[in-house]
């Protein structure tokens, strides 16, 4: 049985890189940049005023100064500041030649075309209220790296660098189906021995959150023929196939056998992690350098959710040329918690408290569907560790 770290490495090492395409800036949310973005000009592009006020020579601050111009943002100043003069200036406007100081409008009075200070305070002299050309960004600076997942802040940078169309990776097509004779869709009237399909829906929504295109194939019965047909259809139509259920040691757990029959090489089928031990990853390497991959995840909803976030989502983002892992940090436990079996890495649903500690949520195990909906993150309990004491730090992963 391999460790979770080894499993993640195998998954990422087998990423199939997708080709690029150009999309409009408004359609880039969550997409992955296909090229480095450099600044095409300094920012600010000129010495600019940080405030509304008057541009002048610092040495003349405190003298009444004749106002020679009103410089609006977006316009080029017409007059140089010479001794005895100043120009009114708006936030973001170009500092006129000859000026090296802007006094804030709130600290001034203007009478008969002359500006003077309200009070003769030295306090004003601390900051000159000028943002200098290139102080934030120099022309040629790397602004965003290839592989960046595009956030609203990245969109602002792309716009500021002149991109209304952006080169990004194509998104993968992800086929999803649930297996199990006991599973029915939510709208079906239940027999007492049946349970409703929750995993398929959860995986569908998790996959959509990565911008991937989802093909949802619904529920496939525990029949070798039907499962074989479903896998063939999904690998034909999709880059990535995610199957939930059918991967335990039961007599009707046909999934691993069928994956092999379809020509896939199973790279792992057991991971030393709890929940998620039967997580399975398989690759088919085609002649024309194109990988297809299958993730077969356990049928319990907490296992499936966590393994998607920790293994499948990093694969999807990597296939688009990006790097993604949940936000990882170390936080102290608010209270002691213990476990019985210490053989595997435990991933425990938790809430993060306002004081920066964490507490486990009520969690009965991997079938306890309500646990993750009330969790902020998961905490690691390493292999061999039975107990985390109150105040002791553990590694936390925040899904994002």
Stretch that binds its own copies, among 8-16, 198-206, 227-235, 380-388 (CB under 8 A): 198-206
- Kindly tell me which of 16 and 49 has the beta carbon lying closer to its own copies: 49
C-beta neighbour count of 135 within 10 angstroms? 13
Encoded one letter per residue, x for contact with its own copies by CB under 8 A and - for no contact, window 118-137 reads --------x----x---xxx
Encoded one letter per residue, x for contact with its own copies by CB under 8 A and - for no contact, window 287-306 reads ------------x-x---x-
Shortest Å, Cβ 290 to its own copies: 29
Tokens representing 158 are 């792309």
Stretch that binds its own copies, among 57-65, 178-186, 262-270, 287-295 (CB under 8 A): 178-186
Binding of its own copies by 367 (CB under 8 A): yes
Tokens representing 123 are 């306090």
Classified as helix, coil or strand, 229 is helix
Distances (CA, A) of 193 to 6, 8, 197, 220: 38, 36, 13, 17
Exactly one of 204, 213, 228, 285 binds its own copies (CB under 8 A); that residue is: 204
Exactly one of 2, 8, 41, 291 binds its own copies (CB under 8 A); that residue is: 41
Q: Which parts of 81-120 interact with its own copies (CB under 8 A)?
A: 88, 90-94, 105-106
Q: Which parts of 21-40 interact with its own copies (CB under 8 A)?
A: 25-26, 28-29
Exactly one of 248, 272, 291, 359 binds its own copies (CB under 8 A); that residue is: 248
Tokens representing 115 are 């500006």
- Kindly tell me which of 262 and 347 has the beta carbon lying closer to its own copies: 347
- d(CA 400, CA 388) in angstroms, rounded, equals 25
b/e code 85-123 from CB counts within 10 Å (16+ = b): bbbbbbeebbbbebbebbbebeebeeeeeebebeeeeee
C-beta neighbour count of 386 within 10 angstroms? 10
Classified as helix, coil or strand, 56 is strand
C-beta neighbour count of 400 within 10 angstroms? 12
Quick one: CA dihedral 163, 168, 173, 176, positive or negative?
Answer: negative
Exactly one of 9, 118, 386, 400 binds its own copies (CB under 8 A); that residue is: 400
Q: Tell me the number of residues near its own copies by CB under 8 A.
A: 108
């Amino acid at each position: 049985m391999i460790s979770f770290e080894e499993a993640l490495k195998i998954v990422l090492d087998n990423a199939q890189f997708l080709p690029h395409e150009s999309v409009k800036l408004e359609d880039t949310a969550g997409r992955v940049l296909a090229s480095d973005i450099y600044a095409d000009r300094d920012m600010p592009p000129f010495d600019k005023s940080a405030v509304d006020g008057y541009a002048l020579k610092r040495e003349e601050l405190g003298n009444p100064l004749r106002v020679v111009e009103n410089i609006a943002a977006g316009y080029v100043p017409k007059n140089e500041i010479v001794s005895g003069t100043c120009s009114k200036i708006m936030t973001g406007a170009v500092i006129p030649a000859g000026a090296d100081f802007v006094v804030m409008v709130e600290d001034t009075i203007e009478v008969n075309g002359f500006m003077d200070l309200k009070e003769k305070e030295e306090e004003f002299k601390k900051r000159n209220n000028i943002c200098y050309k290139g102080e934030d960004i120099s022309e040629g600076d790397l602004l965003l790296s290839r592989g960046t997942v595009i956030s609203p802040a990245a969109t602002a940078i792309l716009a500021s660098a002149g991109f209304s169309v952006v080169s990004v990776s194509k998104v993968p097509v992800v086929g999803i189906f649930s297996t199990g004779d006991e599973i029915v869709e939510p709208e079906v009237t239940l027999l007492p021995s049946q349970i409703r399909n929750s995993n398929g829906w959860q995986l569908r929504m998790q996959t959509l959150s990565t911008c991937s295109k989802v093909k949802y194939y619904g529920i496939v019965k525990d029949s070798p023929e039907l499962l074989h047909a479903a896998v063939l259809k999904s690998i034909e139509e999709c880059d990535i196939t995610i199957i939930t259920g059918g991967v335990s040691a039961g007599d009707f757990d046909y999934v691993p056998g069928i994956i092999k029959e379809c020509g896939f090489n199973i790279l792992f089928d057991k991971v030393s992690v709890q929940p998620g031990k039967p997580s399975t990853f398989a690759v088919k390497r085609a002649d024309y350098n194109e990988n297809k991959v299958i993730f077969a995840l356990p049928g319990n909803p907490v296992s499936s959710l966590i393994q998607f976030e920790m293994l499948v989502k990093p694969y999807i983002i990597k296939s688009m040329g990006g790097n993604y892992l949940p936000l990882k940090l170390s936080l102290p436990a608010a209270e002691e918690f213990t476990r019985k079996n210490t053989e595997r890495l435990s991933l425990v649903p938790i809430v993060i408290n306002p004081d920066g500690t964490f507490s486990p949520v009520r969690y009965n195990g991997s079938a306890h569907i309500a646990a993750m909906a009330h969790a902020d993150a998961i905490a690691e309990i390493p292999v061999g560790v039975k107990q985390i004491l109150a105040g002791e730090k553990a590694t936390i992963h925040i899904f994002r």
